[in-house]
Every structure is written in C-alpha cells, then in structure tokens.
Structure 1
C-alpha cells in the first residue's frame, strides 16, 4: 500500500508578494524649495529696516527709510549722478566685470585643469597663486596704478586677479576629486587621452568649475568698488564712493542695491547653467 501525500497549494496574498518600499529620510536641505522662506526673510529684513529708521533708533543721516531710497532711485534715474546717467554708471560697471570675468574664465579654467593633471604645473603655479590669493585687492591696488596707469587696464586687471584664483583653484579641485574608478573604466574601454579628458575629466570637474565661477563673480562685485577708485568718472562703485564723501547715504544705498541685484542676476544665471550642464549634481 503506497503512501499518498496530499499537497495543498500555497496561497500568497498580493500584498505579501509585493516588496515594501521604504522611503529614506532626507539629508541636509533636501529637495523642498526654499523660495518662500527667502521671500519672507527679505520682507522681515525690510520691515525691521523701516521700523528702526522710523523710530529714529539710528540717525536719519546714516539710515534713511526704504521708501526714501526708492524715491532716490527715481531721482538718480531721472537726473543722473556725478555728470552721468544711471544707465551709464551701470553699463560701465557691467563692462568691467564681464570683460574681467571672461579673461579669468578663459585663463583660469585651463590653468586649473592643468594643475590638477600635472604635478609640475601644480608645483610651479601653486606658489604664486596661493601667495596673492589671500591678499585683499586694496593691498595691490597701488601697484596696479603704478604699473598700468589709471585707465581701464588697471581696473580690469585688478578684477581679473580677484576672480582668477577661485576659478583656477575650483577647476583644480574638480580634477583632484575625480574618482579613479571612472578613469580606469574609461581606459579599460580603450579611451584615448583626449577622449578621457573630454568624456570623463572635464564633465566630472564641471560642477566644481561652475561653483568657482559663481564665487568669483561674488568676489568680483565686491572688488568693483575698489577697482573704480582708480580715477573713475563712471560706475556704480564710483557712485557709491562719491556719494559717501558727501554723506548722501540714500545714494549709497541705491548703489548697494544695484550691485546686489546685478550680483543676484549673475548668480541665478550660473545656477540655471548648472541645471542645464550638470543636471546630475547632488544626485549621485
């Protein structure tokens, strides 16, 4: 008599068969937008400024109200300042900062990449860059005047020196942070030196390079006032310094506001460029 084994089908519910998805908690800022927080903070700062000026906690000579600064913008736009219109001041500053940034980018990125790829280049160039990079631009401003005169060349050179170092060092850091596994994988697939540079090295260093460019623009705008001290008759920095000599604080605030708006626009443009060129940044 043979043994009969009865088997019953195992029924697995659909809920038990599907894997459970676990959402990892965010780290750092996360993906949630911060625009609302920034807008509320800006409004709060303006409100605090208005309140302090309205209550007279600071002398009106040193701190005008926000509405007075807005009124002064209209006056400067209509009548100009120091023998030039507002558009002429803005265009003069934009010309200097754009030309200086173009030179710093064209020279700084290749030099930084070379320093990251070649130890001789790093050994030779690292010393002079690290020597002048911590110096404030005002410290070598007299040398620019002595060597290059009081024309546009000295102003643009001062801005180039201020913007060159962060771009160059960021490009070098981008190469140095390249994972060796990517290089070995490209070599194992038969990539030439040229293909390795354009397909692996440059894309990997691009996020650092764009960050360096954004930092350089911030430093450039900060150096602009010093650059326009050199016998200028046009420019936002010149307008600020000229107004400060006559205690025209509202005009000083107008100039500071224009520089802030221009700097924010340049920074936003670079962020958009980052989103287009390196959409993988922060996601790997």
Structure 2
C-alpha cells in the first residue's frame, strides 16, 4: 500500500517586528527619534566649539582682551538686550533680510523661467547674470549711496541685489534639470502648453523655488553687514561696526553670534516648510 504524501503546511505569517518604520502602528516614532538624534549631534558640535573657544582663551595664544570668553559674550548680550536695544537691532536686521529675500526671489522666479524655457534668451542673458553675480555687493556701496541716498531703500537694495542673482541661478538650473519625460508624457496625453506648465512644470519646480529662497536667505545674511554700511543706526551690522570702532570686542562677538543664531533659526524654519511642501516627493533621506 502506498501512502499519500501529507499536505504541506502553509508557513505562519511573520509577525511584524517592533521598532521598524513602516511596520508598526506608530510610523512617526522613528522619525522623531531620528530628529532628536540629529539635534543631539548638532548640540554636541556646538559644545565642542565652545570647549575649543575656552581652550584657546586659556592657552594665551591670542593676546589678552582680543578674545573674550563665551560667558563674557553672553554677559555683553544680556546687557544689550536689557538696556541697549539689542532686541530692536535684531528685529530691524530680520526685517531687512526678509524684505530683500522676498523682493529678490520674487523678481528672480520669472527671470529663471524665461532663461530655462527660451534658449536664445538664455544665451543672451546668461553671461550678464554671471557678470553681475560675481560682483561683491560691498563694491556697489558708493553707487548705492549716489542713486538711493543713505536711507532704508539703499540698504534694502543691496540685499535685493544679492538675493536676486543668487535665486536666478538656482531657479534656472532647477527648471532646466526637470526630466523631459514628464513633459513628453503630458503632451502625449493631450495636455496643452498651459496645462503642461501649470500641472507639470510648476509642481516640479516647487522644491527649486524653496531651495532658491533658502540659498538667497544665506547670501542675504552674509551681505547684511555690507548693506548696513550705508549709514545704518540700528541693526546687527551696525552693532558690529560701532563696537569695532570703540574696540568693544565682546560686543563684536555678540553681533556676529546673533547673526549666526538668527540665520540658523530662519534656515531651520525654512527646511521644515520645505519638507511639508514637498511631502509628495520621494525622499531618499536626510
């Protein structure tokens, strides 16, 4: 008598392992953990910088009085916030940078589109944009004073100049790098030129717009001191210049540190907005 083979048992379904992203009921937990880990590394970097600062001060490598300790800089910042209107200086500088970036990038977006879509126009204007982008804004201060005076429009115009030419390059390169396959696919489905632009090109250009704003923001903060050379009475650049004129080194460090802190905070906020605005994109990780 031959025995019939027994039916093979179906393998039991694998139980999801806890802690893996995408297999648990709380997919946000690994993302939060990664964010905290990045924040911890960032704080560790700042801690190392402060420790190196203290070590350099204690070594005597820099002459006494030329390198204040971090706690002396903090004390000078506290004095500025409580009695010297340093908070007003921060607000004035943030307003100038915001206006410069907003006006410069708003003007750069259509120019970047035109350069990316029309090859003859790109061939004609690309050398000019490269020429003006290479000019340092501080070299234009005498002309700015002649044409705009010494008021607020003169300072804003320097930041607009720096933001515009930086954002034009980013927008142009971003739009020009869009995969033509998307446009060909849209046209093959019967989309008109307007529909291709509004439903294909514009959504694919959103990340590049935000990158242009982010790059222009960094350039504007780097140009702030040059912009506030134009007879500025308030602002972080003015704080640095006035402190340097009276050899108040700790206040110079206060102005420099505050520019870095505010610029970093604005950049982090912009990165969060970028992640939310481009959530539909496939991200390979940060």
SS of 1:91's equivalent in the other structure is helix
How does 1:209-224 map onto structure 2 within 5 Å?
Answer: 209-224=209-224
1:124 CA displacement: 3.2
Query: 5 Å matches for 1:36-75?
Result: 36-75=40-79
With 154-163 and 195-204 compared, the bigger mean Cα shift is at 195-204
What does residue 228 of structure 1 align with? 228
* Residue 9 of structure 1, CA deviation: 7.1
Change (3 A) 1:101 1:9: same
SS of the counterpart of 1:282?
coil
Question: 2:142 and 2:236 mapped to 1: Cα distance?
Answer: 21
After TM superposition, the structure 1 = structure 2 runs for residues 1-284 of structure 1, keeping only pairs within 5 Å, are 11=8, 14=11, 33-80=37-84, 85-279=85-279, 280=281, 282-283=283-284
Cα pair 1:97 1:220 within 8 Å, conserved? yes
8 A contact 2:109–2:167 mirrored in 1? yes
Higher gyration radius (CA): 1
Report the TM-score, using the length of structure 1 for normalisation: 0.85
CA drift of 1:228 comes to 0.5
Partner of residue 18, structure 2: none
Alpha carbons 2:105, 2:216 under 8 Å: kept: no
Per-residue deviation, 1:56: 2.8
- Contact 2:105/2:212 (<8 A) preserved: no
Report the TM-score when normalising by structure 2.
0.85
User: How far off is 1:6 after superposition?
Assistant: 9.8
State the 1:176 CA deviation: 0.9
1:63–1:249 CA contact under 8 A, matched in 2: yes
- Give how far 1:255 is off: 0.5
Distance in 2 separating the partners of 1:193 and 1:60: 68
Whole-angstrom distance in 2 between the partners of 1:277 and 1:231: 39
Q: Distance in 2 between matches of 1:68 and 1:79?
A: 16
- Give the superposed CA RMSD: 2.3
Inter-CA distance 120–6: structure 2 relative to 1 (3 Å threshold): farther
CA distance in 1, matches of 2:233, 2:169: 34
SS at match of 2:230: coil
Name stretches of at least 5 consecutive residues in structure 2 with no aligned partner: 15-30
- How many residues are matched? 264
> Conserved in 2, the CA contact under 8 Å of 1:207 and 1:281?
no
Residue deviations 1:122-142 (CA, integer Å, cap 9, x gap): 233322211110121112222
Following TM superposition, by how much is the alpha carbon of 1:209 offset from its aligned partner in structure 2, in angstroms? Answer: 2.2
